Structure 1
Amino acid sequence: MIAVILYHAEFTVAGHTLLQGGYIGVDVFFVISGFLISQILLTEIEATGRIDFLKFYTRRARRILPALFAVIFATMPFAYFLLLPSELLDYANSIGSSLLFGSNIYFYFTAAQYGEPITLLKPFLHTWSLSVEEQFYIGFPILLLIVRRYFKSRFLPCVLLVAALSFAFCVVTVRHDLQQAFYSPLTRAWELLAGTLLAYQEVRRGRIRPQPLLAAAGLVLVLGSLILFGKDTVHPGRVTVIPVIGTCLVLAFASRENAAGRLLASRPAALTGLVSYSLYLWHYPIFAFWRLTSLNFDNGDKFLAIAATALVAVVSFVIIEKPFRFTRRNRAFWISLGSSVATITAAVLSAITMAGFPHRLDEVYPPLAQANEARLESTFLSLNDNIQAGKPVIFIIGDSHARNWSIALKNYIDSDRYQVVALSYLNCMVEIKNDIVKAPSRASIYDKYCIPFEKYINDKSLLSRTKAIFLTSLRPFEYTVNPFRFELLSWMKSHSDNARIFVFGNYFQLDQLHSCLGLMFQRKSDASICLREATYPPANQDLAQLPFFPPDLAFTYVDTVKLHCDYDKEKCLTSSRGVPFITDWNHMTAEFLTTLIGDILEKRTADLRSDGLLDFLVPPHATEAEQTASSQPNSGATSAASPSN
């Protein structure tokens, strides 16, 4: 539990995150859980020849549900007042799935890769491991009883076979679907069954004689995994065997007679173990809400969050977990449990039915502005309708940024002279092979982007009359996803009519843990708070030193912030017609982009003409004479392999 808490806290020293392998604590937990529960069940079978299922599941309910419900009830007010509608909807769904012990399945389909920054803001993400454990124990006692009754002499081979199949499935799955390997009970069963095998040994043959060296070796394997494993470690997989074996060695051979046993039986360790479940339940939501409300979740905040977790966990253990676990008042227990389930279910259904109560945003983001922005953004997929043959083409391409940039830029492109083709390769696996661009989607929901992208990008009749290519990407020279973008530009240019390439720089952005709309909502502020807290882009950045800068590609860099306000935040726009410049942490809104581009075109006409951009864009209030002038070929326009602005 200590390892997991430190892992989720993400303490940093000299730029390095400590204990990046702390997630191994969950694997240790699975082995211990498999050992303890199997020991209880096997002992009962050996003594009575049966399992009292009602008693078993009642014990599990007393152990798990009261403390879980207490955390749910305690976090509801924070969720309502701090989470955006989409986040509150996700919160409600995660609670509902945790009540059904299916949150691992829910997060498999909805969450980013475990450990990514965005997952740290999901208050109930940690319940995935509780769901895996409970899914295992819903069916395990029945299978255990069947095997012990009808395959008594083959119990050990049967468990070994199932564990081996689970491990093999884990090793195969992690290669193709890391998310499934992480969240699936089928890929985790072998860890729980490792504990079962150890419990079977003890029940049948008694406690193994303590071995100091083996116990110490087990502790070294576990601690070594915590220290040496990292975010790049393929997990769960082959290497996960190391901490699993280490845990088994400690469980089997540690005792008060050796150092490892004395360490783990010490009073601080024992007290931590007593409140470990409460620590587990409380730490993640406390960390998540603290991160949401702290603009700089530094080491000091992390120490305070851990201290708060420990305090709340002890209180929870004393007044909730312990009393409910050992009370003899069964009627009162089930009544309180039933009423809690009913209340939580009603709250979850209300949040889902009301789509996260979007009216809460009205004060900071007027409904009319929200509706107008939604209408604008919905037009992206129709931008390529009615493509006219023979007309010179301007391609606008990019990742998720291409949608709103395309919507805004099209307002300033002379539609009488140029045909606009707007494409997004969002979650498309782009590959150029045999002079053909392949772009299958990573999931079917992205087909709406990838299918037209592949269709139009390979249309040689469009490419041959392409005059300009606009790249609109998140941090184009830094973003590690979609590194093919400049190779794609080169390929497109080679098939074009010597097209000009323009790379558009990003506007101000927040860190990945905060959304602009979230900051506005939590602090009841306008979008100026987002601009104040923006950390990107830095002024006077040397683009040529960035990892994906293409030195061999001739292009013009359009420094959006410099052209608009010269990096002086006091002069920079933060909203347009009630729409903030961003609502998440990095994507500019369509309404704001339309205003921003128009402002740049009006105020920086001379700069844009010298860079050749006014060969393709028309200022919003240009006179007829200016429009005619801007449409003439500009002998002074330059293409460069280094930024022009």
Structure 2
Amino acid sequence: MKVYRPEIDGLRAISVIAVILYHAEFTVAGHTLFRGGYIGVDVFFVISGFLISKILLTELEATGRIDFLKFYARRARRILPALFAVILTTMPFAYCLLLPSELLDYANSIGSSLLFGSNIYFYSTAALYGEPSTLLKPFLHTWSLSVEEQFYIGFPVLLLIVRRYLRSRFLPCVLLVASLSFVLCVVTVRYDQQQAFYSPLTRAWELLAGTLLAYHEVRRGRTRPRPLLAAAGFVLVLGSLILFRKDTVHPGLLTAIPVIGTCLVLAFAGHQNAVGRLLASRPAALTGLVSYSLYLWHYPIFAFWRQTDVHFSNGDKFLAVAVTVLVAVVSFVVVEKPLRHTRKSRVLWITLSSSVATITAAVVSAVSMAGFPHRLDEVYPPLAQTNEARLESTFHSLNNDIQPGKPIIFIIGDSHARNWSIALKNYIDADRYEIVSISYLNCLVEIKNDIVRAPSRASIYDQYCIPFERYVNDKSLLSRTKAIFLTSLRPFEYTVNPFRFELISWMKSHSDNARVFVFGNYFQLEESQSCLGLMFQRKSDASICLREASYPPANQPLEQLPFFPSDLAFTYVDIVKLHCDYNKEKCLTSSRGVPFITDWNHLTAEFLTTLIGDILEKRTADLRGDGLLDFLVPPHARLSERTASSQPNAGPTSSASP
């Protein structure tokens, strides 16, 4: 007979609250709260493994078989109605608020969640969980549902194999699989943390920890509640939620702490002890009952709120949490509970089938129409979009024809290197210098034994990391390098790629006494914002982005910034000061219909070309003093050279006055 255990719902409540607060990112005095809240998902995995395994093992013990049709029907009733409600409700918001690329990603994530594979989709698209950009993906959180759904498929198969071929060896088999999964997790997280995070193979041990506990209860009955062990488990769970950080290696060895803690609470918490009574209290148990709806609704609500709110303050976050609770309760009462327990199976399956058909049609339409790009035409003219896309596509061909013997200028950087390289190439004196443009975007750069190694974080970044490693290790290129241009996001502040100045120092040591130029950034938005999104939502030009943008670094000497290289001789090129002296009213916001940024920080290639030309033209004297004009040619000088070379029978020209 099934016995309801309210303390399990209380444990669910703690987990979902932790996850919601983690994704809300409340800040106090510059510190983000609840940074270990992601552990709530691991607690969910253990609970899910325990409950599902107990259902199947109990049925197997009682009847000798498993009614798979009944099992999957129950899973469908539990999971699909609320999920479909969230998807259908968010579709109009997605169409009105998301850019074409974002809408395409949204559609693909929905399609993959319907196929129980959104974890695989997000891994394949290099969605770095916890990064600001992923907070704008409305269905990123469905990765955990897919992991559980894959468990629902895999675990019954394991049961069948063990029962048919191994008879009474269920426990050794589960222990073996769980151990292999744990070892795989610990090994994988060292070289590919995202794969360890998203893969069902590296998460299976968490679910199987719940399975082992369920097996014990089914075979030997529930263990007598023990206050000390229940309290120890509760402390392990809460301690993980509080003490784990963004940089904690996860999932990995330390993840065993909340997993063990959850198992202890499940095994030993009961109404006889304080932990059990706390978790079984009415507020906790009711929250746990609504936990699935809370989990489903919170992420899209936060994502769309962030899309429309330039300043997502603590007040906004609190309001978003309140809206999440309200919507989740309504969804639970109106959708989840009635359809889960309805006896009208025909109504349920017609509802689910029609929902699948509607969602599939919407996904296919969005994918086939590439996210409906015509929606942008009003704020970003199609011709401008085409020209910018054409320019950006030229990056990978910039190094195709490197001539031997000529001095080299290296343009190096992170994701900023692409458009900076495209723009700078227009002004580098090509008669005197060859250009090598490389990006270490998502490359794991390490200098060892006088060799630079740069394996990619994911295979999609091989297009950057492979040529980067090839060219940066080419001593024949380095030996004739005269200048190194660094183009990086916040070069003295950005905590990602902290090796950049060590790398430049190493390159300089192998060069012909190369000059180093560090290019500053232009105005930028907050990390979770998008200029093109603002333009689209407000039906405005790029001036709205400049009004909301800030200039990094603001009001702080460069020497005080954390990554300032005091032992490296370099010239800092402050492009905002050179262009408009920090006065937004004088600063350009677009060029030929292309906004200065389309995301939150990357200058567009078309705009950069105009910006650099403007600086070279108007600040020639300043740049000559800094030595930059030894490598770059101002537009008027380039035009004069082209005009002179195009004259028939043009003889040598003289710079002397007549």
- TM-score with structure 1 setting the length: 0.92
Counterparts of 2:288 and 2:614, CA distance in 1: 61
Aligned 8 A contact 1:539 1:567 in 2: no
Given the alignment of the two structures, is residue 220 of structure 1 paired with residue 235 of structure 2, yes or no? yes
Amino acid at match of 1:547: P
- The verdict on how the C-alpha distance between 1:130 and 1:440 changes in structure 2, with shifts beyond 3 A counting, is closer
2:43 aligns with 28
Conserved in 1, the CA contact under 8 Å of 2:192 and 2:457?
no
**Is 1:131 matched with 2:146?**
yes
> For residue 338 of structure 2, what is the amino acid of its counterpart?
P
Q: Does structure 1 residue 183 correspond to structure 2 residue 198?
A: yes
Moved more, 143-152 or 237-246: 143-152
1:50 touches 1:145 (CA, 8 Å); kept in 2? no
Of residues 285, 290, 293, the one that matches 1:270 is 285
Query: 1:612 is matched by which residue type in structure 2?
Result: G
Q: Does residue 528 of the first structure (1) align with residue 543 of the second (2)? A: yes
Q: Do residues 486 (structure 1) and 507 (structure 2) align?
A: no
Change (3 A) 1:459 1:215: closer
Match of 2:607 in 1: 592
Q: Secondary structure at the match of 2:379?
A: coil
SS in structure 1 at match of 2:425: helix
Give 1:394 shift: 2.9
1:30-82 deviation line (CA, Å, top 9, x unaligned): 12112212222222222221111111111111111111000000010111111
The answer as to whether partners of 2:490 and 2:553 remain within 8 angstroms in 1 is: no
Q: Is the 8 A contact 2:26 2:32 kept in 1?
A: yes
Q: Quick check: 2:403–2:434 contact (8 Å CA) kept in 1?
A: yes
Q: Does 1:285 align with 2:285?
A: no
1:169 to 178, 184, 189: 184
| Partner residue of 2:215 out of 188, 200, 208 | 200
Deviation at 1:438, TM superposition (A): 4.5
Shift of 1:572: 0.6
TM-aligned CA deviation for residue 454 of structure 1: 4.1
> 2: CA distance between counterparts of 1:493 and 1:235?
37
Find the partner of 2:348 among 327, 333, 336.
333
Mapping of residues 574-613 of structure 1, within 5 Å: 574-613=589-628
Q: Is the 8 A contact 1:468 1:501 kept in 2?
A: yes
Shift of 1:426: 2.9
CA distance in structure 1 between the partners assigned to 2:256 and 2:72 by the alignment? 30
Determine whether 1:40 maps to 2:55: yes
Give the match's secondary structure for 1:179: helix
Residue 446 of structure 1: how far off its partner (Å): 3.7
Question: Cα RMSD over matched residues?
Answer: 2.4
SS of match in other structure, 2:168: helix
Pick one of 321, 324, 333 that aligns with 1:318. 333
Q: Tell me the secondary structure at the aligned position of residue 485 of structure 2.
A: strand
Deviation at 1:315, TM superposition (A): 0.7
- 1:292-340 deviations in Å (ceiling 9; x for gaps): 1111212111111111111111111111111111111112221221111
* Partner residue, 2:361: 346
**Amino acid in the other structure paired with 1:326:** H
Note closer, same or farther for the CA distance 1:462–1:55 as it changes in structure 2 (3 Å cut).
Answer: closer
* CA apart distance, 1:436: 4.7
Q: Give, in whole Å, the separation in 2 of the partners of 1:537 and 1:264.
A: 47
Partners of 2:393 and 2:533 lie apart in 1 by: 22
The one-letter code matched in structure 1 to 2:402 is I
Note closer, same or farther for the CA distance 1:351–1:625 as it changes in structure 2 (3 Å cut): closer
Correspondence for 2:107: 92
2:441 to 417, 426, 448: 426
Higher relative contact order (CA 8 A, sep 6+): 2
Q: Is the 8 A contact 1:45 1:145 kept in 2?
A: no
Structure 1 CA distance, aligned partners of 2:561 and 2:585?
A: 28
- Contact 1:615/1:632 (<8 A) preserved: no
Which residue is equivalent to 2:373? 358
> What is the SS of the residue equivalent to 2:438?
strand
Q: Does 1:143 align with 2:197?
A: no
User: In structure 2, do the counterparts of structure 1 residues 601 and 471 end up closer, same or farther at CA, with 3 Å as the change threshold?
Assistant: same
| Distance in 2, Cα, partners of 1:49 & 1:223 | 39
**SS in structure 2 at match of 1:412:** coil
Question: Deviation digits for residues 433-483 of structure 1, max 9, x if unmatched?
Answer: 555544454445444434444444444554444333322222222223333
Contact 1:527 1:574 in 2 (8 A): yes
Amino acid at match of 2:392: E
- Greater Cα offset, 132-141 or 56-65: 132-141
- SS of residue in 2 equivalent to 1:232: coil
Q: Equivalences for 1:365-380 in 2 at 5 Å?
A: 365-380=380-395
Q: Distance in 1 between matches of 2:238 and 2:456?
A: 40
Match of 2:32 in 1: 17
Number of residue pairs aligned between Structure 1 and Structure 2: 631
Secondary structure class of the residue paired with 1:307: helix
In percent, how many aligned pairs have the same letter? Answer: 85
Residue range with higher mean Cα deviation, 252-261 or 383-392: 383-392
Q: Deviations over 1:411-440 (max 9, x none)?
A: 222333333333333334444455554445
CA distance in 2, matches of 1:522, 1:342: 29
Structure 1 residues 54 and 409: CA distance shift in structure 2, 3 A: same
* TM-aligned CA distance change 1:215 to 1:385, over 3 Å: closer
**What amino acid maps onto 1:63 in structure 2?**
R
The whole-number CA distance in structure 2 between the counterparts of 1:203 and 1:306 is 39
Deviations 1:151-177 (A, max 9, x none): 453332232222222222222222222
Higher alpha-carbon deviation: 230-239 or 348-357: 230-239
**CA deviation map 1:80-105 (0-9, x unaligned):** 11111111111111101111111111
> Residues 367-406 of structure 1: matches in 2 within 5 Å?
367-406=382-421
Gaps of 5+ in 1: 634-645
Aligned AA for 1:192?
Answer: L
TM-score scaled by length of structure 2:
0.91
2:4 matched residue in structure 1 = none
